[in-house]
Structure 1
Amino acid sequence: MSDFEHRSVETETRRATPGRPWTPQEEPRQDALRRYLGAVAAAASRRSTGQESAPASGTGSTEGPVTASPGPAAPGPAVLHVRDVMRVPAASVPGDMPFSEVARTLAREQVGSVPVVDADDHVIGVVSESDLLAKAAVMAEPHRHGSVGRMWQHRLYEKSHGDTAATLMTFPPVTVHPTARVSDAAWTAAHARLKRLPVTDHRGRLVGVVSRRDLLRALIRDDAEIRAEAESLVGRYLPDPHAVAVSVENGTVTMTGRADKALVADVLAAVRDIDDVLDVVDATEAF
């Protein structure tokens, strides 16, 4: 990534940092977030330089879904597609489902949003906890006056008077195709600020759902994979590959042992270029 992309990732991470003291689990979560944002930024960089073809844009019509269309498959087994990580079957609700039943569905499925489908299973929108919260607020106080009624979320306030999934939902829906690259789906989710994306076939019918967590797991390499690649670099640069030990935790590579510092510097530079490496700690000692 470029320096600008690194700064963008760090800025987004700081925005996500909680104002309260971190729990022991919070730092690994923030590290994972940095790696996710880094992968998205790298995907965006490849798209802008032509190394990956960008997905075809939708028609722009408000009648149909906004879908990340599949691009031509890149060579090599490392390319993951949405179909490899999506979850099936996907929970959905019909457009005529009442507000209260939609709320029960979200609670039962333990999700924050759910696709709304028509009689032929075409995705026509997405209804979320935010939509239901606005509806609940209107039910509690139907007549809002003053600045609240003039907020820029005027459309949200107006549609919250609806009583069914179709009248409460957000549309057009942002969806992805099963053959879309995971990196493209991650970019779509990040750009739209969505936690879950419905997966639809070429006719717009619901076939699955992919979450930001699913994309995160697919984009971020396992620490064991990073360690194996780092150890191979140690063997390439150092006469004695056993002189330096490599450990990896949450994307941070630590190197310990005794070796020629000049050679170690070359290894460190190479390890920093490994995908998904957040930091490299040099704990080696000179001969």
Structure 2
Amino acid sequence: MPGTPYAVNDVMTRTVVAVHGGAEFKDIVRTMRRWRVSALPVLDSDNRVIGVVSEADLLPKEEYRVRDQDPDPWRAARRPPDLAKADAVTAQKLMTSPAVTVGEDITLVRAARTMAHAKVKRLPVVDGEGVLKGIVSRSDLLRVFLRSDEDIADDVRREIATHLMAVPVQPIGVEVRDGVVTLTGRVRDTTLLPLVTRLVRAVEGVVDVHCALEGPLRRPNLDPDLPGSVGM
């Protein structure tokens, strides 16, 4: 979608493995193993996401399996949530809730920030009613960097060079190699260059920006004492 930021809807996985709240412990483990995933969205009867159950939520079952013989009696007292999960047998009791989710139309930048803030590797994607529509992972967010250099260059020329600098002193050159954008040419107003760099960097798939744009050539003042004679 040239000219518009990529959204979660553009990169998310639409076929999602999930479990309902009543799923039992061993069924959850089997599902994770079968589909080679480390976490599963947990749904209610209307397919709304109510939580996420991960390998970390399952591990207390093993960690505290012999807690009555634990030589450190203070450890159990310090971790009551893990003890509760050690005794749980269904997804609804094991899951982390509420789930951190994102909408289909949010940008990849916002999704990445949400993922980093929540310290999770994937996010369930939901509609306005909280119904599961897909899942977006770290690797999905990185897919924009697989865009071709030609596509990136087209976006830069259209959104930046054409609109922001409609009247350059000379044509603006846009070269993209492995996602790195190089801008060459001359512009009338060099104060815009920091803004140009930021805008180009915001184009989906751009890895870095080398801005080699320059201002207009100035003619030397050959006779500075001549009245009305100024440099151009």
1:84-110 per-position Cα deviation (integer Å, ceiling 9, x unaligned): 222212111121212111011112222
Alignment match of 1:209 (pick from 135, 140, 160): 135
- Superposition pairs of residues 140-151 of structure 1, within 5 angstroms: 141-143=66-68, 144=70, 145-151=72-78
1:166 partnered with 2:88: no
Tell me the secondary structure at the aligned position of residue 67 of structure 2.
Answer: coil
- If you compute each CA radius of gyration, which structure gives the higher value, 1 or 2? 2
Corresponding residue number in structure 2 for 1:103: 29
| 2-structure distance, mates of 1:85, 1:210 | 7
Question: Would you say how many aligned residue pairs link Structure 1 and Structure 2?
Answer: 190
1:105-139 per-position Cα deviation (integer Å, ceiling 9, x unaligned): 11222222111112221211100011112222223
| 2-structure distance, mates of 1:227, 1:182 | 16
Report which stretch shifted further, 181-190 or 95-104. Answer: 181-190
C-alpha deviation, 1:272, in angstroms? 5.4
Matching residue's letter, 1:248: R
Alpha carbons of 1:186 and 1:237: their partners in 2 closer, same or farther (altered >3 Å)? farther
C-alpha deviation, 1:197, in angstroms? 1.0
Tell me the secondary structure at the aligned position of residue 202 of structure 1.
Answer: coil
C-alpha deviation, 1:170, in angstroms? 0.4
| 1-structure distance, mates of 2:38, 2:7 | 24
* Contact 2:41 2:53 (8 Å CA) reproduced: yes
Matching residue's letter, 2:141: L
| 2-structure distance, mates of 1:157, 1:226 | 53
| 2-structure distance, mates of 1:160, 1:121 | 26
Alpha carbons of 1:80 and 1:116: their partners in 2 closer, same or farther (altered >3 Å)? same
1:117-164 per-position Cα deviation (integer Å, ceiling 9, x unaligned): 12221211100011112222223x23343443244x431332222111
C-alpha deviation, 1:189, in angstroms? 1.4
| 1-structure distance, mates of 2:155, 2:5 | 21
1:152-203 per-position Cα deviation (integer Å, ceiling 9, x unaligned): x431332222111111110111111223333322222121111111122222
1:119 partnered with 2:51: no
C-alpha deviation, 1:208, in angstroms? 1.4
| 1-structure distance, mates of 2:5, 2:125 | 18
| 1-structure distance, mates of 2:172, 2:52 | 58
Tell me the secondary structure at the aligned position of residue 115 of structure 1.
Answer: strand
| 2-structure distance, mates of 1:199, 1:114 | 12
Corresponding residue number in structure 1 for 2:216: none
* Contact 1:93 1:116 (8 Å CA) reproduced: yes
Alignment match of 1:248 (pick from 177, 199, 222): 177
The two structures, once aligned, show a CA RMSD in angstroms of 3.6
| 2-structure distance, mates of 1:133, 1:177 | 30
Gaps of 5+ in 1: 1-75, 283-287
C-alpha deviation, 1:279, in angstroms? 6.6
Q: Percent identity?
A: 35
TM-score by length of 1: 0.54
C-alpha deviation, 1:215, in angstroms? 2.1
Question: Normalized per residue, which structure has more helix?
Answer: 1
* Contact 1:227 1:248 (8 Å CA) reproduced: no
Alpha carbons of 1:237 and 1:103: their partners in 2 closer, same or farther (altered >3 Å)? farther
* Contact 1:82 1:185 (8 Å CA) reproduced: yes
Corresponding residue number in structure 2 for 1:224: 149
Corresponding residue number in structure 1 for 2:219: none
Gaps of 5+ in 2: 162-167, 213-232
Alpha carbons of 1:238 and 1:111: their partners in 2 closer, same or farther (altered >3 Å)? farther
Alpha carbons of 1:230 and 1:238: their partners in 2 closer, same or farther (altered >3 Å)? farther
